[in-house]
Amino acid sequence: MAGIPEIFNIGRSALFSNQKALQVTSQNIANVSTPGYSRQEAVFSATNPINGQPGQIGTGVEIGEIRRVVDRFVEDQLISGESALGRLQTEEGILRRIESVFSDSQGTGLNRAFNEFFAALNDVSNNPQDHSARVALLEQAEVFVQRLRITDRQFQTIRTDVNKETIAVINEINVIVPKIGELNVQIKQAEFSGQHANDLRDERQLLLNDLAKKIDIKTIEDAFGQTTVFVGSGKTLVEGNVTASLSALADADNDGFVTVLFDPGTGATSDLTSSITDGRLKGLIDIRDQILPGFINTLDRLVGGTINELNQQHRVGFGLDGTTGNNFFGPLNPSASGLTANTGTAVVGVTVSNAAALSLNPYVLSFTGGNYTLSNSTTGASTTGAYADPTTVTFEGLDVAISGAPVAGDQFRVSAHKGSAAAISVTQSDPNKVAAASTAAGVPGDNANALLIAAIQNKAVTALGGNTLQGYYSGLTSDVGARAQTAQRHAEVELTIHAQLFDLRESVSGVSLDEEMTNIIRFQRAYEASARLITLADELYQTVLGMLR
């Protein structure tokens, strides 16, 4: 008699347990296409037995837990992979856009304008007295100048767009971070009460992956299931439900483009820009602050070298009207800009003192202990002296005039060529002033100076490191193309690695319909057998009751 209730209870526990298992399987099937969903598993465990003769007798079964099937190592690898993929895909996309700036597929690119300008110079050298050749030269010079300005403007536009995208990514991060904090609270509340917050954990993991694609992060999980998120050099972005934020601050020393600030919520912010090592944000910052400025500087050096070389040669020649000493292009306009951290009142002006001695490299003018130092940032060459108001420093073809009262630590950026591509212009509008002749007596048939000007295209230019103008331009386009191709290859490799990690994750955590259908049949049969046990217990009761009538 005592055994019949136990049979009934065992059947009941088996019935309910298999019913729950079928419910878990149904949830898996329903979410087979849900991004980030992790397969769940009903874990059966035997209930506590009771003592009996000849030994302990089982009392049934229960669902001990509903487990989220994941491999934490793979999940962590995916987070790292998202950061690398985000950076590389960002770099690839922008570099492809930069590469298109030099595209000459429509016949309107800079390369064609460059070659046609020098071809027009050759035409003048072949027939220096021909008025139409001179007119064509000035027209082609205008085309060349406009193409240079357009190229520079395209570079600047891309850089501005990248800065806007940087701000957008910062805002996207600030949307994600509080959501992770909220999920931390919900997960803690659920798991503190003995539940497994499987769906909440999946939702949080998706947010972490999305966050990692935008900025590199490190995560740890505490005993309550809450994830702490770190960025930069160990700064806490999320801890429990306490979250920090990022902000964008315009930097006057970086052309007004933003730096990334970390705001812990206490009012004291810190610059995070240099400690971001991966993710979309890193790709944007590298393109904006390193790669694009490098291309822009190279273009400005090319233009500066072209202006400097052509003007020097043109000034020594004679036009059809007998004039000499005329520039062909507008002269270089050297500049000096002080850093925002400067506290002194120094004013710095720059002029060209010796065009033949120019290096077309960037310089830094700094002040320490009553002395100035003007140093070439590329070669390291420098000149130092005691400062007395006013002072003019002559160095590598530049006259740097300093006045006012600088303070130790003040710095100025000095350049002879910055902005040359945007500012280049043709100063000559009169074809008769094109200086083709080398002497006044040789006008109009003398072409010696025109030949020297045309030869500048393939002349080794000291200010360009011994490169020719043609070679320097080819180096710029080759560098752009090589960087774009390298970025594409690296992105493809990282995408392959990411796909392999995703496949590995799916092999562990993904839902297999075949496996779930097998589980349905298994749990269904177990459910039917459990129901049969209950029916059997009822029949046994009826038999016993019949015996008592």
Pairing of strands 382-386, 61-68: unpaired
Helix 131-192 crosses helix 292-315 at what angle (to 10 degrees)? 160
Specify the pLDDT at position 1: 41
The conformational region for residue 234 under phi > 0 = left, psi -120 to 50 = alpha, else beta, is left
Query: For residue 427, how many other CB atoms are within 10 A of its CB?
Result: 14
314 Cβ neighbours under 8 A, 6+ residues apart: 326, 327, 328, 435, 449, 453
Nearest to 121 by CA among 457, 375, 486: 457
Pairing of strands 371-376, 363-368: antiparallel
- Yes or no: say if 194 and 174 are a contact pair by the CB < 8 Å rule: no
Specify the pLDDT at position 57: 84
Nearest to 509 by CA among 517, 497, 498, 501: 501
Rg, Å, the chain Cα set: 38
CA 343 to chain centre: 33
374 DSSP β-pair partners:
365, 383
- Yes or no: say if 273 and 249 are a contact pair by the CB < 8 Å rule: no
CA distance 400 to 387: 12
Specify the pLDDT at position 106: 64
pTM of the model: 0.89
Pairing of strands 411-415, 335-338: antiparallel
Q: What are the pLDDT tens digits along the chain (549 aa)? A: 457 888 889 999 999 999 999 999 999 999 999 999 999 999 999 999 888 778 788 889 999 999 999 999 999 999 999 999 999 999 999 999 999 998 776 656 788 999 999 999 999 999 999 999 999 999 999 999 999 999 999 999 999 999 999 999 999 999 999 999 999 999 999 998 888 899 999 999 999 999 999 999 999 999 999 999 999 989 999 999 999 999 999 999 999 999 999 999 888 899 999 999 999 999 999 999 999 999 999 999 999 999 999 999 999 999 999 999 999 999 999 999 999 999 999 999 999 999 999 999 999 999 999 999 999 999 999 999 999 999 999 999 999 999 999 999 999 999 999 999 999 999 989 999 999 999 999 999 999 999 999 999 999 999 998 999 999 999 999 999 999 999 999 999 999 999 999 999 999 999 999 999 999 999 999 999 999 999 988 888 888 888 876
Specify the pLDDT at position 105: 65
Specify the pLDDT at position 548: 76
